Chains A and B, each alone.
Chain A
Amino acid sequence: MADSRVSVPKEARRGEPFEVRISIRHPMETGYRTDESGAPVPRNVIRRFTCRYGGAPVFAVQVTSGIAANPYFRFFVTARESGALEFEWVDDAGVRGEARAELTVA
């Protein structure tokens, strides 16, 4: 349901860190805005983002409204074996999003 774009290198070297970049579409509604009628727009931000590699969680972010709308994260992970990188996030409304990328390790 939630759109995202992921970038991992075509190939990573075993034992070396490789770059992961992800862009997630989410308004990250702070809860401090009001709509045209003056009613407060309820807060709805992503609260947790997790990156799993070969099934094991390797990197996570406790996210708040302090992260900008349509969050962008760039980080590094140590390459082990070829496999899947799975991304998951959940927001205040309980809506989950996910993405996936395949990694080849030489």
Chain B
Amino acid sequence: MRATARLVPGRRRILRAAAAMLALRALPAIAAPELPDIPLLSQFLAGRAARWERLRLTLPVLADNGLAVPLKLAMAGPFAPGPTVRAIRLFSEKNPVPGMAVFEFLEAVERIEIDTRVRLAGSQKVVAVAEMSDGALYAAAAEVIVTIAACLDGS
């Protein structure tokens, strides 16, 4: 018995893309022009430009399960005595709540590294924006494919 699923063309395309991308651990940062349309993000930026460097957002290319996707943020120093990181904000392209989280660095630290697990309601882009103590903004983005489970679980 061959386990084949009947797929609609769109999903077949996504799976082929996923197969190709599976060699990569994470997608490289998306260049500024490809910033996804997230109203909350535009609101936050308020016309300010963010630099697409230094901040690294790591998400799997293909999530095991959209309910718990490991996410990593890292920003290369050095910081002090110059501007330090005040906060890093996470924005979701497709979630019902686009503002996923805000990590607040109430006391400066030289090692900016965050690990957590997020929920993603379907395949989408995630954008992270770091706000420095001098108001400068750094951004990073990643794209995640989230599929539904092979077998539905009604337990």
Contacts and interface: CB of A to CB of B under 8 A. Distances in A.
Q: Which 4 pairs across A and B sit closest by C-beta, in order of nearness?
A: A66-B100, A74-B115, A17-B111, A68-B117
Interface string A44-62: 0000000001001111111
A66 B66 CA distance: 10
B68 interface: yes
A38 to B, nearest CB: 15
Interface of B: 67-69, 90, 92, 95-97, 99-119
Contacts, number: 90
A69 interface: yes
Interface in A50-102: 53, 56-69, 71-78
Nearest to B107: A58
Nearest to B106: A57
Nearest to A43: B97
B125 to A, nearest CB: 14
Given A59-B106, A59-B107, A78-B108, A67 B114 contact: no
Contact of B112 (A57, A60, A68, A76): A76
16 contacts: A17-B110, A32-B96, A58-B105, A59-B105, A60-B104, A65-B119, A67-B100, A67-B101, A68-B69, A73-B116, A74-B115, A74-B116, A75-B103, A75-B115, A76-B112, A78-B109
State which size class the interface on A falls in.
Answer: 20 to 34
Interface string A21-35: 100000010101000
A58 B105 CA distance: 6
> Which residue among A17, A58, A60, A75 has the maximum number of chain B CB atoms within 10 Å of its CB?
A75
A71 B117 contact: yes
Given A62-B102, A69-B67, A69-B68, A56 B107 contact: yes
Contact of B119 (A57, A59, A62, A66): A66
B106 A63 contact: no
Given A30-B119, A58-B106, A59-B103, 14 more contacts: A17-B109, A21-B115, A56-B107, A57-B107, A58-B107, A64-B101, A66-B90, A66-B95, A66-B99, A67-B117, A68-B119, A72-B115, A75-B113, A75-B114
